[in-house]
Structure 1
Amino acid sequence: MPPKPTIRSLAESLGVSVATVSEALRFSPKVKPETAERIRAAAEEAGYKRNPLLGEAFSSLRRGRYRDFSGTLALVDLADDHGNCELMLFHKEVMKGAEARAAELGFRLELFWVGKKEPALSVSRLCSVLYARGILGVVFLPFDRLQDFSKFEFNKFAAVAMDRRLVRPSLHAVQPEHYLSMRRAVQILFDRGYKRVGLCLETRKDERVDYKWSSGYASAYRLNGKKSNVPPLIQKESDRSEFIAWVKKYKPDVVIGHAQAMMDWLDQAGLPVPEKVGFFRINVTESSRPCAGLDLLPQPLGAAAVEAVVGMLHRREFGIPETPQAIQIDLAVVEGPTIRLPKD
């Protein structure tokens, strides 16, 4: 039986130094991408297996002497049709969590934009830039619109999508547990004494999470043996007149929605929150007005996405997964002045 390959034997066969092989297998940016790819391909062909326990021991020793730098990870967002590149507040919080966790693991994070107009990059250009700079780990931020990445050379990268899977291809994903969290939210409102729980959403926002919000809402009624007496209002775009007409017709005593403006609309219509109608917001991260609702935990989401990509890099898992997996993050319920207090 031939001896097991080692870093030293790989270095000798490839005509490079032991340090170069070691850095390449750790995805260090110190090694040119072409050389690093050649080393990793040779290691895989030879059947080289990194000892994770030994690797962690050496990493701990390095961290004891100085902050180890393993490389750069890409965070990718989608620019709008006009080429505007500005992070949403939720995405800013995701990036904070991702940057903090990346630093703990010895990586830096850099933001890239994909879009049709400059300064955003095309999908193929993004791929070229990342590879040329030796950035092999990629996290795709939650996209508000479907995006085709079929021209991205995923075989060169370890990549994870956040919240919504890409259309082509389907990657491993890190996402909030929207379905169970919505069901839990409705149950909490039932427990607070609300009888007519209404739901108002924009179509694209529910579609973006694979209709888990509307499905979780409906299942909460079924689990309680109730038939919804307030049909959900699903709008193409948030519309004040349609919303108020729906409230006056079906008389919900609390509304679950994602738009902060709904609270203002209720107040202006003589239905003040929470005296006449309660309000529970789906994503409190973007609220400037104190409000009860769901905390989608953007910072833990960003941290989990980085952990997933770094793990894939260490395991040398590149390309489109044969069986895409999803990491679900349980959400938190935030108390606020827009709903009734818990019963004693």
Structure 2
Amino acid sequence: MATMSVIRLKEVAAEAGVSIATTSMALNGSSAVKPDTRIRVEAAARKLGYQKNSAAAVLSSSQNRNSRKSVFIAWLTAGTLSSSGRLEGAFREAEKLGVQMEFCNIRRSNDLKAVIRSLYARGCDGVVLGRGMALIAGQEDWSRFCIVSVEEGLFEEGVDVVRSSLFRSTYELLWRVREVGYKRVGVCLREHDPLHPDDATRLGATLAFQTAEMAHAERIPPKRISLMHCKIAEELIPWVRKYQPDVVIGFSGAELWALRDGGFPVPEGLAYVALHVLAAERGPLAGYQDNLEVYPPYAVRVLFEKIRHGVRGLSDHPQQTLVLPPLLQGESCPRLN
């Protein structure tokens, strides 16, 4: 009598066009998987007649619970010591998950091999590639670790990435300030030549919003502002005087201080909202919480999910987890309250 072949997880993954880890997380209801990906995986499982091995799942769950406290991960950055001060959320998330986490800043690219050897010898289960790692991580062997990145540049190398949904967050911020009554919305972007990919995305969101939501007479051309603080005021003030926005969307607190120093009463005469609000600026500033404070907990959670499912090395089908930063209230735009 012919026996029916057992459909394995890797066959479902191949049918859905995603990694085995993503397939496992999707079928186990993990929040780290995007809804459209979960739907595709579930459809592939139904098509192939995949049956979850309940006994194996129970054993795996039991083993994960018993070994949870022994998980060890490392957060690596390259030449950015200041990053350690923004990882409080990551350390809290690791503690909540019962994970030991260590921060390591690599000052010289030549030190990376030694760091990798040391982490492996100490039983490190996974690493998060943080700021600056996209420039030095591409030639190393990551097969021994579970790996996640917060730098988009590593996505094409097969690394799962946690990043901001820049287009969506910019569009929703513009929609929000429009909803509370601001009509003339001026957007400032950082000056790069060529334009930085992040700002190119924000520019696209701004132009799309203006076309869809604003009358032609209300549209203000976006302003590219110098990265040098000493030049921000001399570039920003003439633009504000010429186009007279009733709210300015800037990058950080630097534009707010420049507006006030230039004689514009904020928020009495002109509102200001920032794309990045640091913890220390939450009183005076309104806008999105800085991404470097938002990404880390998500990255730790995604990495932990991958470790639980035994994933190691690079992926043939890397996934992106998109994060929408929370909108914070501040005195520079009280009408957002």
Instruction: Specify the TM-score bucket, using the shorter chain as the normaliser.
Output: 0.7 to 0.9
User: Does 1:309 find its partner at 2:303?
Assistant: yes
Q: 1:125 aligns with which of 114, 121, 126?
A: 114
For residues 240-268 of structure 1, the C-alpha deviation after alignment (integer angstroms, 9 at most, x for no partner) is: 21122222222222111123121121112
Partner of 2:96: 104
For residues 201-239 of structure 1, the C-alpha deviation after alignment (integer angstroms, 9 at most, x for no partner) is: 224697263733222222221221544732212234142
Residue 132 of structure 1 deviates from its aligned partner by 2.4
For residues 123-158 of structure 1, the C-alpha deviation after alignment (integer angstroms, 9 at most, x for no partner) is: 323322222222130012244x95132222122221
Residue 286 of structure 1 deviates from its aligned partner by 4.4
Structure 2 distance, partners of 1:73, 1:124, is 17
Q: 2:105 aligns with which of 113, 118, 123?
A: 113
1:138·1:157 contact (CA, 8 Å) conserved in 2?
yes
Judged with a 3 Å threshold, the aligned counterparts in structure 2 of structure 1 residues 153 and 342 are, in CA distance, closer, same or farther, namely closer
Partner of 1:181: 169
1:99·1:109 contact (CA, 8 Å) conserved in 2?
yes
1:142·1:164 contact (CA, 8 Å) conserved in 2?
no
Residue 92 of structure 1 deviates from its aligned partner by 3.1
Structure 2 distance, partners of 1:221, 1:213, is 12
Partner of 2:149: 161
Equivalent pairs, count: 281
Partner of 2:238: 245
User: Does 1:198 find its partner at 2:191?
Assistant: no
2:315 aligns to what SS in structure 1? Answer: coil
TM-score, reference length from structure 2: 0.72
TM-score, reference length from structure 1: 0.71
Residue 333 of structure 1 deviates from its aligned partner by 1.7
Residue 96 of structure 1 deviates from its aligned partner by 1.9
2:272 aligns to what SS in structure 1? Answer: strand
Moved more, 295-304 or 133-142: 295-304
Name whichever structure is richer in helix by fraction: 2
Structure 1 distance, partners of 2:58, 2:293, is 28
RMSD: 3.2
1:99 aligns to what SS in structure 2? Answer: helix
* One-letter amino acid matched to 1:160: V
Moved more, 242-251 or 289-298: 289-298
Judged with a 3 Å threshold, the aligned counterparts in structure 2 of structure 1 residues 226 and 131 are, in CA distance, closer, same or farther, namely farther
Structure 1 distance, partners of 2:130, 2:289, is 17
For residues 53-102 of structure 1, the C-alpha deviation after alignment (integer angstroms, 9 at most, x for no partner) is: 32323555x49xxxx5223201011215xxxx333xxx634x22222222
2:138·2:154 contact (CA, 8 Å) conserved in 1?
no
- Stretches of structure 1 that go unaligned for 5 or more consecutive residues are 2-48
Q: 2:124 aligns with which of 135, 154, 161?
A: 135
1:155 aligns to what SS in structure 2? Answer: coil
Partner of 2:77: 77
Structure 1 distance, partners of 2:239, 2:55, is 60
Partner of 1:283: 276
Structure 2 distance, partners of 1:266, 1:299, is 26
1:163·1:176 contact (CA, 8 Å) conserved in 2?
no
Partner of 1:46: none
Highest CA radius of gyration, 1 or 2?
Answer: 1
1:86 aligns to what SS in structure 2? Answer: helix
Residues 39-58 of structure 1: matches in 2 within 5 Å? Answer: 51-58=56-63
Structure 2 distance, partners of 1:326, 1:100, is 22
1:131 aligns to what SS in structure 2? Answer: helix
2:158·2:317 contact (CA, 8 Å) conserved in 1?
no
Residue 314 of structure 1 deviates from its aligned partner by 2.6
Partner of 2:160: 172
Judged with a 3 Å threshold, the aligned counterparts in structure 2 of structure 1 residues 59 and 71 are, in CA distance, closer, same or farther, namely closer
User: Does 1:234 find its partner at 2:227?
Assistant: no
- Stretches of structure 2 that go unaligned for 5 or more consecutive residues are 4-53
Judged with a 3 Å threshold, the aligned counterparts in structure 2 of structure 1 residues 321 and 186 are, in CA distance, closer, same or farther, namely same
Structure 2 distance, partners of 1:146, 1:162, is 9
Residue 305 of structure 1 deviates from its aligned partner by 1.2
Q: Percent identity of the aligned residues?
A: 22
2:266 aligns to what SS in structure 1? Answer: coil
1:126 aligns to what SS in structure 2? Answer: helix
Structure 2 distance, partners of 1:148, 1:96, is 25
